Amino acid sequence: MLRTHTNGELRLNHVGQEVTLCGWIQRIRDKGGMIWVDLRDRYGITQLMLEEGKSSAEALTLARSLGREYVVEAKGQVVERLAKNDKIATGDIEVKVSEIKVLNPAKLPPFLIEDETDGGEDLRMKYRYLDLRRTPIRESLRLRHTVAKEVRRYLDDADFIEVETPVLIKSTPEGARDFVVPSRMNPGEFYALPQSPQTFKQLLMVSGFDRYYQLVKCFRDEDLRADRQPEFTQIDCEMSFVEQEDILNMFEGLIRHLFLQVKGIDIGEVPRMTYAHAMKYYGSDKPDIRFDMHFVELKGEENDLTSGKDFQVFDAASHVIGICVKGASEYTRKQIDELTDFVRRPQIGAKGLIYVRHQADGLKSSVDKFYGESELHKWAMAFQSEPGDLMLILSGDGDKVRKQLNELRLEMGSRMGLRDPNNYKVHWVVDFPLLEYSEDENRWFAMHHPFTSPKPEDIELMKAGELGKVRANAYDLVVNGVEVGGGSIRIFQKELQSTMFEVLGFTEEEAKAQFGFLLDAFEYGAPPHGGLAFGFDRLCSLFGGSESIRDYIAFPKNNAGRDVMIDSPSPLAPAQLKELKIKADL
């Protein structure tokens, strides 16, 4: 080894020892008679010290020629620092250099390799190998490593077996777009990269591997954002001879283990919430329950406290729904105008916003012209409002207005400081609809995927054609308003799986062509089974307190799905296209 210690290792108990360190130059401070050099590696920083009259002239001359990010080897004696630095682990010591050697010089980096850098995201992605030298990024990847290690520890202790599944598979029509790979040996035919190992893990259950898991790469050709990448990692799991409660208990145990081992946090009770409840009171199938602010209907299926006052905005709407923001009655007109502009944004699409201030001297609203004190008092009772609160109200069609109000609720949660990333609230959402209807395509789609089982008590509804009432035997795990995992009990009988394909519009021939291998497998003794997949990158970003998953992936893509460092994707050479029997029509 070129080095005797790392740059994060030396302490006061090493004083007097002769050591050899290697690393990158973080910074140099030349004070004439003294030179200090901060030497960095992935373990930390150690200060090197050279002094006129005590260090060799050769070492001093070389030290003055060094630049940022030079790779060097330094030999010397560990001494106690006079001016200690409590911001770094090695801050009690420094190394008095006797010899220094340049292992490799470096060009001036295009941005500062510091915790707080001057490099924008595009520049840092182009030089990602330099960005990875920064402590925050390095710590993010260390966190990812720790989470992976603890996942494997928990599942290994629970008798799961890690099994790799193929990366070159068959394209399927359901779900997101596939990435496809041409086959040179089978001209005109293509593999697909897996969106998940769904059918393979079910086949493993048929094979008798009753507890499977895999930290697996998945690929989806979809539009990107901060928490999406075209390639991502799942903690993919499946179990046999189980019911929904067994799955929830097993993987609630995993998430408890991870929070305790990685964050040192006991997450406490993990409540269950039905999909219907989540949509009615939060307008989202992944509600953030760090704060309450649930929806209150002033007009809808169960209530009507707005009609008969000739206010067309409410009269023309099927639903009038709002939230009560505790302690926000002093919001100014300017602040409320900002909120109105917020909900009118095209991404949200509300036409306007009604407010009611609950103040010590009474109720004041933007609709005082139509609703008097007695009507507003009824609203306040419905909201359980108290003096000091602010009621914010939207109107429109039920599902649409709930989605709009969800965005407003989250915005108010942020404004009121109720969404602390270090306050973790975990819960399950269960009883999703099995199917959703597309008006555009005039057919039913699987809300999760075609292999999700209906609730046993709802199978007769499915056979009777009451498809909108059928609930899925499915579940999602939500942390702070982010879906980190989801799964279902699977269909394991050929007859029910064939019925599901028929409901989804597959002909018998299409179902056999796409999934015949799975239907055939079900005829050879398939056990009842179910599973769950966690979004591993997303889980890591939550543990790290970040909204973006990119810093937890060593070499991520940008919003256009490009790796700007290696300039990928890129055109193929004409000879390659010819060999693959592909013609590019651009």
Q: What is the DSSP letter of 465?
A: T
Q: Does 536 count as an annotated binding residue?
A: yes
Of 416, 431, 452, which residue constitutes the final position of a domain?
416
CB 482 within 8 A of CB 286: yes
What's residue 547's pLDDT? 83
Distance between CA atoms of residues 426 and 268, nearest Å: 9
- pLDDT 10s digits, 38-86: 999 999 999 999 999 889 999 999 999 999 999 999 999 999 999 999 9
**Domain identity same for 200 and 97:** no
Same domain, 72 and 36: yes
Annotation-wise, does 227 bind a ligand? no
Q: Is the pTM of this model over 0.75?
A: yes
Is 225 assigned a ligand-binding role in the annotation?
no
529 is in an annotated binding site: no
Q: Are residues 327 and 207 in the same domain?
A: no
Distance CA 364, CA 359 (A): 8
221 is in an annotated binding site: yes
Domain boundary residue, one of 416, 444, 477: 416
Please check whether residue 432 lies inside any domain of the structure.
Answer: no
- Are 38 and 73 contained in the same domain? yes
Predicted local confidence at residue 511, as pLDDT: 86
Residue of 266, 297, 253 whose CA lies nearest to 279: 297
CATH number of the structural domain spanning residue 20? 2.40.50.140
Boundary residue ending a domain (416, 437, 454): 416
Does residue 148 sit within a domain?
Answer: yes
Q: DSSP for 93-141?
A: EEEEEEEEEEEE--PPPSS--SSS-S--HHHHHHTHHHHTTSHHHHHHH
Q: 575 in a domain, yes or no? A: yes
The answer to whether residues 158 and 95 belong to one domain is: no
The residues, any chain, with a CB within 8 Å of residue 16's CB and separated by 6 or more, are 77, 78
Q: Is 384 annotated among the ligand-binding residues? A: no
Per-10-residue mean pLDDT of the chain, 586 residues long, equals 97 97 96 94 97 92 95 97 94 97 96 91 95 95 98 98 96 80 93 94 96 96 80 97 97 97 95 96 97 96 89 94 96 95 96 95 93 94 96 94 97 96 96 90 87 92 89 96 96 91 88 88 95 96 91 93 94 90 81
Reduced to 3 states (helix: H, G, I; strand: E, B; else coil), residue 260 is helix
The residue segments making up the domain with residue 172 are: 121-272+532-585
Both 70 and 164 in a single domain?
Answer: no
CATH number at residue 316: 3.30.1360.30
Percentages (nearest 5) of helix, strand, coil residues in the chain: 30, 25, 45
* CA distances to 106, 113, 305, 320, 354 from 298, in Å: 67, 55, 5, 5, 12
Q: Are residues 311 and 225 in the same domain?
A: no
pLDDT in tens, 391-448: 999 999 989 999 999 999 999 999 999 999 999 999 999 999 999 988 888 888 888 8
Structural domain includes residue 489: no
**Is 232 within the bounds of a domain?**
yes
Q: What is the CATH number of the domain that holds 538?
A: 3.30.930.10
Cis amide linkage into residue 569, ω under 30° from 0: yes
Looking at the structure of the chain, the number of domains it has is: 3
**Is 42 marked as a binding-site residue?**
no
Looking at the structure, tell me whether residues 209 and 331 fall in a common domain: no
Residue 453 lies in a domain: no
Same domain for 93 and 149?
A: no
Q: Give the three-state DSSP class for 77.
A: strand
Whether residues 96 and 135 share a domain: the answer is no
Rounded to the nearest 10 degrees, how much is the dihedral formed by the CA atoms of 282, 254, 149, 226?
Answer: -10
State residue 566's pLDDT score: 95
Q: Is 177 annotated as a binding residue?
A: no
pLDDT of residue 586: 67
Is 535 annotated among the ligand-binding residues?
A: yes
33 annotated to a ligand binding site: no
How does pLDDT run across 443-499, given as a tens digit for each residue? Answer: 888 888 889 999 999 988 988 888 999 999 999 999 999 999 999 999 999 999 998
Ligand-binding site membership of 229 (annotated): yes
The answer to whether position 462 is within a domain reads no
C-alpha neighbours within 13 Å on the C-beta side of residue 391: 31
Identify whether residues 29 and 136 lie together within a single domain.
Answer: no
Tokens 């926000």, located at residue = 328
Helix 198-206, helix 508-522: angle, nearest 10: 40
pLDDT, position 253: 97
* Shared-domain flag, residues 91 and 131: no
- Within 437-559, where are the H helices? 459-463, 494-503, 508-522, 536-543
Does 257 belong to an annotated binding site? no
Q: Looking at the domain assignment, is residue 114 inside a domain?
A: no
